[in-house]
């Protein structure tokens, strides 16, 4: 099993001084059957308070009360990973049935259901899931910068372009519409053919809600998750599982600079 060395630096630069801010981070991977945390360190400009949410994610919150014009959040560590085609989830207190509820980001349109030719009679299998992932990628072409974190599944479908977040929201919406629980996964993907890495997103699908058995599919790469995937958090959609979010007073225009490196040890 490979060991991946990860470094993730997030820098915010503001036009004016920020007077007060609160930040919530989901940047700490858990040790799971498919990944073991060897080491992990987080550096933030404020003292963090750790907690666990209902999905089993590790969350950190810190508050900035003095004026500042830039801020850096840095995490790094080593994770040993292995394939995870299907797996039971014992860390979450959330029932899979809760994940049948649509959100504004995942709600599909009738045009989407018609385009993907889905119905309640669809037979869900590993092959069907992978073929659906490919159809989503073919329709919504991966185009960095074409959408934002607020873009909905319907909007990305209409644009015919998006990123991994949009692919995930579309897949989740289609699953839920057909009474198949699905959830958003945020994390990292080790791509050997590029140095321009970013946070990644994929989807957990629960074909066996009674036993809580999940299948993990990376829509953007049209593959089931494997040893290249390191998960950080899960949730109903991006807003529930995003790595960094917060609110602030002041600051004006914000510039975000993200640098992620992943190396195989």
Summarize pLDDT for 94-136 with one digit per residue, the tens: 899 999 999 999 999 999 999 998 877 677 888 899 999 999 9
Q: What mean pLDDT do residues 163-170 have?
A: 97
pLDDT, tens digit, 9 for 90 and up, residues 44-83: 999 999 999 999 999 999 999 999 999 999 999 999 998 8
Q: What percent of the chain has pLDDT over 70?
A: 98
Residue 192 has pLDDT above 70, yes or no: yes
Alpha helices in 69-180 (DSSP H): 110-115, 126-139, 153-159, 164-177
Q: Determine how β-strand 161-162 pairs with β-strand 141-142.
A: parallel
- The CATH number of 86-237 is which of 3.10.620.30, 3.90.550.10, 3.20.20.480, 3.40.50.300? 3.10.620.30
Cα–Cα distance for residue pair 230/28, rounded to 1 Å: 10
Give the contacts of 175 (CB within 8 A, at least 6 positions apart): 181, 182, 203, 205
- Band of the pLDDT at 197, cuts 50, 70, 90? confident
pLDDT reported for residue 153: 98
Residue 233 has pLDDT above 80, yes or no: yes
pLDDT reported for residue 212: 86
Q: Name which residue leads in pLDDT, 124 or 170.
A: 170
Residue 91 has pLDDT above 80, yes or no: no
> Looking at domain 3-81+244-264, which CATH architecture does it have?
Sandwich (2.60)
218: closest CA among 125, 132, 150, 149? 132
pLDDT reported for residue 92: 78
pLDDT reported for residue 1: 78
pTM of the full structure: 0.94
Class of residue 149 by CB neighbours under 10 A (exposed 0-12, middle 13-18, buried 19+): exposed
At 108 the three-state DSSP class reads coil
pLDDT reported for residue 196: 61
**Per-domain residue ranges for the chain?**
3-81+244-264, 86-237
CATH topology agreement for domains 3-81+244-264 and 86-237: no
pLDDT reported for residue 34: 85
Q: Which residues pair with 117 in a beta bridge?
A: none
H or E element: which one contains 28? strand 3-28
């Amino acid at each position: 099993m490979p060991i991946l060395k990860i470094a993730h630096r997030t820098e915010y630069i503001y036009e004016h001084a920020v007077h007060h801010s609160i930040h919530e981070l989901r940047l700490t991977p858990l040790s799971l059957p498919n990944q073991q945390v060897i080491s992990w360190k987080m550096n933030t400009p404020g003292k963090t308070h750790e907690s666990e949410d209902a999905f089993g994610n590790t969350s950190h919150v810190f508050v900035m009360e003095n004026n500042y014009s830039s801020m850096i959040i840095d995490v790094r560590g080593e994770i040993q990973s292995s394939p995870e085609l299907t797996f039971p989830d014992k860390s979450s207190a959330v029932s899979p049935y809760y994940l049948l509820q649509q959100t504004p980001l995942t709600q599909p349109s009738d045009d989407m259901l018609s385009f993907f030719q889905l119905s309640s009679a669809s037979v869900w299998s590993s092959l069907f899931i992978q073929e659906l992932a490919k159809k989503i990628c073919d329709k919504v072409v991966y185009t960095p910068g074409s959408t934002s974190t607020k873009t909905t599944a319907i909007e990305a479908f209409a644009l015919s372009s998006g990123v991994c977040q949009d692919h995930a929201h579309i897949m989740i919406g289609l699953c839920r519409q057909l009474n198949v629980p699905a959830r958003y996964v945020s994390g990292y993907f080790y791509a050997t053919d590029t140095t321009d890495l970013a946070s990644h997103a994929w989807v957990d699908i629960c074909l066996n809600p009674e036993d809580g058995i999940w299948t993990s599919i990376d829509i953007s790469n049209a593959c089931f998750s494997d040893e290249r995937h390191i998960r950080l958090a899960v949730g109903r959609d991006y807003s529930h599982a995003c790595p960094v979010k917060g609110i602030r007073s002041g600051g004006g225009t914000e510039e975000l600079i993200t640098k992620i490196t992943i190396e195989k040890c």
